[in-house]
Amino acid sequence: MSIDWIFDLERDIDNGQEVLACPGLSRNQWYIGKPYDELKQLAQRVANHKKMTVNIVRLVSHHDAIAGDLFLVPTKIGEPGARGEPHIEWSTVETKEAAEMMRDLRQGPAPFFAMQQQETVDPSDE
C-alpha cells in the first residue's frame, strides 16, 4: 500500500539515509528518493516546462525542522498503481501545525517531512 511506502520513507530518513526530492510536472506530484543524477534531470525538465526555478530538497524528519523549513505533506494517499508504485498527492505548507492538519488520516496518521533546500535548478535558455 502507498501508506506503507511513506512509513518506509520515514524509517529511512530516521535511520540517517539522505533522501532528495523535487516537484514534478503535475500539480501535487513530487519525485522522491531518486538517484541525484536522475533527480537533477527531472528537476531541469520541470524547470524548463514551467519556466521557473525548481528546488531540489533534502527530506528530514519533521522533528528536526529548523526555522524557515517548509513541510511536505501527503494530502491524498491512494491505492498503488498497476506496477505497485505509490500513488500520493503532496502539498507543501509553511508550518508544522498546518502539516498536521492537512495530512491524510484515512489510513491512520501519515508521516510528513521537513524540506531543506539543497540546490536550485533554473530553466535553460533553450
pLDDT of residue 68: 85
How large a percentage of the chain has pLDDT more than 90? 72
- Residue-wise pLDDT for 51-70, tens only, equals 999 999 999 999 998 888 99
- Looking at every residue in the chain, the average pLDDT score rounds to 91
Say which residue, 108 or 112, is predicted with more confidence.
Answer: 112
In this prediction the pTM is 0.89
SS (H, E, C) 68-97: CCEEEEEEEECCCCCCCCCCEEEEEECCHH
- Residue-wise pLDDT for 11-56, tens only, equals 999 999 999 999 999 989 999 998 999 999 999 999 999 999 999 9
Give the pLDDT band (50/70/90) at residue 114.
Answer: very high
Domain boundaries, the chain: 2-121
Give the pLDDT band (50/70/90) at residue 1.
Answer: low
pLDDT of residue 10: 95
User: Is the pLDDT score of 89 beyond 80?
Assistant: yes
CB 93 within 8 A of CB 73: yes
CA angle 115/119/121 to nearest 5° reads 115
User: Is the pLDDT score of 85 beyond 80?
Assistant: no
